[in-house]
Amino acid sequence: MTDLTTFGIAAIRDGVRDGQFKAREVAEAFNAKVAGADALNAFLVKTPEHALAAADAADAARAAGETLKPLAGVPIGMKDLFATKGVATTAASKILEGFVPPYESTVSQNLWNAGAGMLGKLNLDQFAMGSSNETSAFGNVVSPWRRPNDTAPLAPGGSSGGSSTAVSAGLAPGATGTDTGGSIRQPAAFTGISGIKPTYGRCSRWGTIAFASSLDQAGPMARDVRDCAIMLEAMAGFDAKDATSLKLDVPNWEAALSTDLKGKKVGVPKEYRVDGMPAEIEALWQQGIDWLRDAGAEIVEVSLPHTKYALPAYYIIAPAEASSNLARYDGVRYGLRDLPEGAGLQDMYAATRAAGFGDEVKRRILIGTYVLSAGFYDAYYTQAQKVRTLIARDFERAFGECDVLLTPTAPSAAFALGEKQADPLAMYLNDVFTVPASLAGLPAMSVPGGLDKDGLPLGLQIIGKPLDEQGVLNAGLAIEQRAGFTARPQAWW
């Protein structure tokens, strides 16, 4: 019998609908895969019963002759940044250990409403702060990929490292991610899968544990572009509970997928040719350009002059918002409390936060507190928000000359765990190509383009105009078809 875990979202949906197999068989197959992959540490909580219940509902609906829901029979992984009712949710932080939300996030509820089931909650960088999944309080996620003849554990990317590992190792056909500065796209690139961050406001942030509210966006991570389109349709949509949610209908992205790019212009931003870019990344970028030209697009060089300032602006804005958002973890209403003998209220706050937050989270709270403090606010925060305006303006101008932009997703392939952890700045530089689109709220996607000399995946990024997820998905699909990327990690776990 076919191994059902080799199927993606579309194949599972269609197979369940057409009666080729039962949804329950799919859920059981993925539950078994999850149970056998503890060495990857991708799951913080396993919820096989949730996946089975959704599968049984799909099978019952089909038996009753009902029209099946869009994700009926599809089990997915849920990044542990989404609050799930009755299922522990920690953001991979000690400060939320034991927290069981009495409510469901809008994005996860949307997925359940669409018929999906949950395989479990996925590990991540603590509070989504990191690019390698090494800041989780519950251990590193290990990438299923390895260099040849080398057992050194590699980073799955971050912060959605549990999601990227689960999908690339075949533990889930799709997973949710969140992207603040590249946390969907960079891990997707590192593990040879696809992932899209939609336009800011497409997916509700309600019930998603906040990192930097003006940047946080949820999105899907899956094996291919079509699966991303299907899953994003279910996740997105207006939500009155999020003041920044866009009151727009969700387009039927899957139905409008097309790889014909005739009449489209693809912009190649010259400022993304950074010093010291590895030759392999440069070659892949050129290959991507050729693929899109082959798909009928015209290639134009564009300029985004403020690109080099995006990363420093991000590392003011994101920590500033984080320092404010994370003020809620005080040991009073939920989560950890550390009350030293004889301590007063202020001491309890400080002790709780010292014991509960990891090093990177503390680092960012401190940076954020510093740049927002009296006397520094204008020089740092206001200046960064002005630079952000200039970065958004750069994109607006570039999109006067082209429809989508093509860049590499990350400046390198996956690095080894531990390799960059000692130097926070070196780690931050991982997001150099993904952060600008985040600052401008633009839809952006990573698709696998090829392998480097060590056989590790490399990704290409497509950035689109506001609300033009369709243009991004279509260009992504055009690349996907031409790249013919089928490499999968060999199971060693």
Partner 1 sequence: MSVDTATVKKIASLARIAITEEDATRLAPELGNILGWIEQLGEVDTQGVEPMTAVIPNQLRLRDDVVNDGGIRDLLMQNAPQAEHGFFTVPKVIE
Question: Would you tell me the crossing angle of helices 469-483 and 279-294 to the nearest 10 degrees?
Answer: 100
Cβ proximity to partner 1, 271 vs 454, nearer residue: 271
159 belongs to the catalytic site: yes
Please indicate whether residue 85 is annotated as part of the active site: no
What is the Cα–Cα distance from 227 to 8, expressed in whole angstroms? 7
Instruction: DSSP letter for 272, please.
Output: G
Question: Quick check: 476 binds partner 1 (CB under 8 A)?
Answer: no
Cα separations in angstroms, 486 against 20, 27, 126, 162, 229:
24, 24, 31, 21, 19
Q: Which one of the spans 12-20, 171-179, 184-192, 435-443 is the region binding partner 1 (CB under 8 A)? A: 435-443
Are 20 and 73 in contact by the 8 Å Cβ rule? The answer is no
Of residues 144, 408, 173, the one with CA closest to residue 285: 408
Under rule CB under 8 A, which residues in 436-455 are in contact with partner 1?
Answer: 439-441
Strand (E) or helix (H) holding 302: strand 298-302
Q: Give me the least distance between CB of 261 and partner 1, in Å please.
A: 25
Binding segment for partner 1 among 29-37, 288-296, 333-341, 403-411 (CB under 8 A)?
333-341
Does residue 354 interact with partner 1 by CB under 8 A?
yes
Name which of 7 and 329 has its Cβ closer to partner 1.
329
Count of CB atoms situated within 10 Å of the CB of 490:
9
Q: Does 465 bind partner 1 (CB under 8 A)?
A: no
For the record, the structure tokens of 90 come out as: 């920690």
- When binding is defined by CB under 8 A, the residue of 336, 414, 472, 479 that contacts partner 1 is 336
Residues 6+ apart with CB under 8 A from 199: 217, 246, 441, 442, 443, 466, 467, 468, 469
Residue numbers 160-189 binding partner 1 by CB under 8 A: none
E strand segments, 156-264: 174-179, 194-197, 217-222
Task: Please report how close the Cβ of residue 79 comes to partner 1 at its closest, in angstroms.
Answer: 20
Which of 357, 399, 415, 485 is the binder for partner 1 (CB under 8 A)?
A: 357
Long-range contacts of 145-149 (CB under 8 A, 24+ apart): 145/190, 145/191, 145/192, 145/414, 145/455, 145/456, 145/457, 145/489, 146/489, 146/490, 146/492, 147/454, 147/455, 147/456, 148/454, 148/455
Minimum separation from the CB atom of position 396 to partner 1 (A): 11
From candidates 7, 211, 285, 349, binder to partner 1 by CB under 8 A? 349
Residue of 19, 270, 382, 396 interacting with partner 1 (CB under 8 A):
382
Among 201, 207, 436, 464, binds partner 1 (CB under 8 A): 201
Minimum CB–partner distance for residue 14 and partner 1 (Å): 34
Give the whole-angstrom CA distance, residue 395 versus residue 405: 9
Report the site for partner 1 in 7-36 (rule: CB under 8 A).
none
Pick the stretch among 55-63, 125-133, 160-168, 195-203 that binds partner 1 (CB under 8 A): 195-203
Q: Which stretch binds partner 1 (CB under 8 A): 61-69, 180-188, 289-297, 311-319?
A: 311-319
Taking contact as CB under 8 A, which single stretch among the options 69-77, 128-136, 177-185, 359-367 is the one that binds partner 1? 359-367
Task: Return the range that interacts with partner 1 (CB under 8 A); candidates 32-40, 170-178, 271-279, 380-388.
Answer: 380-388
Residue closer to partner 1 by CB (options 52, 355) is 355
**388 sits near partner 1 (criterion: CB under 8 A):** yes
> One of 22, 69, 79, 121 is an active-site residue; which one?
79
Measured from the CB atom, is 214 or 259 closer to partner 1? 214
**Using the rule CB under 8 A, is 350 a contact of partner 1?**
yes
Min dist. Cβ of residue 266 to partner 1 (A): 23
- DSSP designation for 251: P
Helix (H) or strand (E) holding 385: helix 383-398
Which CB, 386 or 453, lies closer to partner 1?
386
CB 434 within 8 A of CB 139: no
Q: Does 481 bind partner 1 (CB under 8 A)?
A: no
- Is residue 351 involved in binding partner 1 (CB under 8 A)? yes
Residue pointed to by tokens 């690095």: 415
* Rounded Cα distance, 235 and 219, in Å: 7
Q: Which of 93, 131, 163, 183 is catalytic?
A: 183
DSSP 224: S
According to the binding rule CB under 8 A, does residue 346 interact with partner 1?
A: yes
The residue among 211, 219, 214 whose CA lies nearest residue 187 is: 219
- Asked whether position 300 contacts partner 1 by CB under 8 A, the answer is no
The rounded distance, in Å, linking the Cα atoms of 136 and 187 is 15
Which residues lie below 8 Å from residue 370, measured CB to CB, with a gap of 6+? 376, 380
Decide: is 379 part of the binding site for partner 1 (CB under 8 A).
Answer: yes
Which CB atom, from 258 or from 382, has the smaller least distance to partner 1? 382
Residues forming beta bridges with residue 149, ordered by sequence position: none
Shortest separation between residue 117's beta carbon and partner 1, angstroms: 24
What residues from 219 to 238 belong to the interface with partner 1 (CB under 8 A)?
A: none
DSSP single-letter state for residue 243: T
Give catalytic residue positions: 79, 159, 183
**Sites of contact with partner 1 (CB under 8 A):** 98-100, 102, 199-201, 214, 240, 243-244, 246-247, 306, 309, 312-313, 315-316, 323, 327, 330-337, 339, 343-351, 353-354, 357, 362-363, 365-367, 369-371, 373, 379-380, 382-390, 392, 424-425, 439-441, 466-467
